[in-house]
Amino acid sequence: MSKKTWRVALMVLLCAVFTVVAAVLTCPKCGYEQVEGADKCSHCNAALPKPPPKVVQEVIKPVKPTWALATDEDWRKSSEAATQKKLWLAWFYARNAYTLNMMTEGTNSARAVKLIALQQGYEKLLRSATVTCPRCKGTGRADIRIKMSSGREQVIRSDASKCKLCEGPGALPVFVRADVLNHSRAQVKRDYDALQKDRGWDSLSGVWLPADLAREVTLKERLELMRTLGSPCVDCAGMGAAACTKCDGAGWIKCSNMTCESGTMPCSDCNGTGKPNKKASTATYGSGYTSIGSFCQTCNGTGRITCKTCKSAASLPCQACGNKAITVCKTCTGNGQNPVCSRCKGDGAMPCNRCRGAGKIREVACTECGGQGQILCAGCKGVGRAAKR
């Protein structure tokens, strides 16, 4: 055996000896070995030190999921998504939390009202956008016209002068069209479903809940969940009101005058050149006037005059929506939900065809409906609303 092997064996033996010695209780005064658990030394009657307390590993029992805990969890995730400016994801979590909360406190509780307000706040941000102001072209400033000593007018843009149309920001608010909202929501919906699935939650026709709760849900509870979740109207993206399609949710349309730019149009007398012309001089001072001058008297040499169509506004009120930019959805009449299912009349369930609603066949529970007497509506899958095709 080599010296290296001897050294390893010796170290292992010493470790074993130290372990055995450390486990034996000895008197600190006389060194005699004592029986485990003794208070005094059997040889010198000296007090023995107390052994260290045994560490008891606490078994953490898993918390059983409840409707309230699931609601709070989705509410928290909604707030996190909103902090990250993922508004559609925050909306999905808030909508699911509101649905789960129905199983504990109903839809009229204080928590339910807060969750509804949360969804409405997200919707307001999601359907709001801005477009460049047509008058100032995004600068937010207005033209200042200064009369020179020569009589010519000079146009200057000053930071102190705000655009009269947008009043400074250089942009005007608009409402996002329903088709754009539906598209962006569908994209986020795939990510949302994947995140809920990764948590180990199960989906009941769109409602996500812990797997343990999903296994215990009765048909009646499932129908209540489905009806609370609802089915957002496609024509208004569930908002109840849709952006006007004629003006794209702006409330105004671009000036119909093709030559209009920022509320002005080329001078017709000088053809936009600003140079003097006999026609302008004669119109201003009479037919006997022969001096043409150094610049066009109609536009004061600027080459542009106020647009006669929009009166310098560079835009015209939309006639389709009455300058409101948004109209009540005709499909859902403002409630934001798809039409009621024609098969189940909004109940989400139909009588079982096999037992005809009795739940039993010859005193034996119906295997088709599990003794419930009802089955999910094949048309709406329990939601009670028929999606538009």
* Arithmetic mean of pLDDT over the chain: 81
Task: Indicate if 72 and 104 belong to the same structural domain.
Answer: yes
Task: Indicate if 3 and 101 belong to the same structural domain.
Answer: no
| pLDDT average, residue stretch 211-235 | 89
Task: Indicate if 38 and 120 belong to the same structural domain.
Answer: no
Task: Indicate if 13 and 73 belong to the same structural domain.
Answer: no
Task: Indicate if 122 and 103 belong to the same structural domain.
Answer: yes
Q: Give the residue among 364, 114, 67, 334 at the shortest CA–CA distance from 224.
A: 67
Residue 222: CA atoms inside 13 Å, Cβ hemisphere, count? Answer: 21
Length of the chain: 389
Backbone angles phi, psi at 270, to 5 degrees: -110, 5
Q: DSSP letters of 121-151? A: HHHHHHTEEEEE-TTTTTS-EEEEEEE-TTS
Residue at 267 is within a domain: no
As a three-state string, the secondary structure of 203-251 is EECCEEEEHHHHHHCCHHHHHHHHHHHCCECCCCCCCCEEECCCCCCCC
Tokens encoding 73: 């969890």
| CA pair distance 99, 209, nearest whole angstrom | 10
Q: Give the residue among 146, 140, 135 at the shortest CA–CA distance from 161.
A: 140
Determine the pLDDT at residue 18. 43
Determine how many CB atoms are found less than 10 A away from the CB of residue 360. 12
30-39, 51-60, 271-280: range with lowest mean pLDDT? 51-60
Residue at 285 is within a domain: no
Q: Flag whether pLDDT at 289 surpasses 50.
A: no
Residue at 310 is within a domain: no
Higher pLDDT, residue 48 or 288: 48
Task: Indicate if 14 and 117 belong to the same structural domain.
Answer: no
| CA pair distance 257, 242, nearest whole angstrom | 28
Q: DSSP letters of 76-138? A: HHHHHHHHTT-HHHHHHHHHHHHHHHHHHH-SSSHHHHHHHHHHHHHHHHHTEEEEE-TTTTT
pLDDT confidence bin for 96, thresholds 50/70/90:
very high
Tokens encoding 359: 């739940």
| pLDDT average, residue stretch 270-274 | 82
Q: Flag whether pLDDT at 19 surpasses 50.
A: no
Q: What is the number of structural domains in the chain?
A: 4
Task: Indicate if 220 and 365 belong to the same structural domain.
Answer: no
Write out pLDDT tens, residues 109-124.
899 999 999 999 999 9
Residue at 211 is within a domain: yes
Task: Indicate if 45 and 156 belong to the same structural domain.
Answer: no
Write out pLDDT tens, residues 50-83.
766 665 555 554 555 789 999 999 999 999 999 9
Residue at 109 is within a domain: yes
Task: Indicate if 94 and 4 belong to the same structural domain.
Answer: no
Task: Indicate if 123 and 186 belong to the same structural domain.
Answer: yes
Q: How far is CA 372 from CA 78, 239, 345, 348, in A?
A: 35, 35, 19, 14
Domain span at residue 160? 134-169
Write out pLDDT tens, residues 146-193.
655 555 556 666 666 888 888 888 899 999 999 999 999 999 999 999
Task: Indicate if 123 and 205 belong to the same structural domain.
Answer: yes
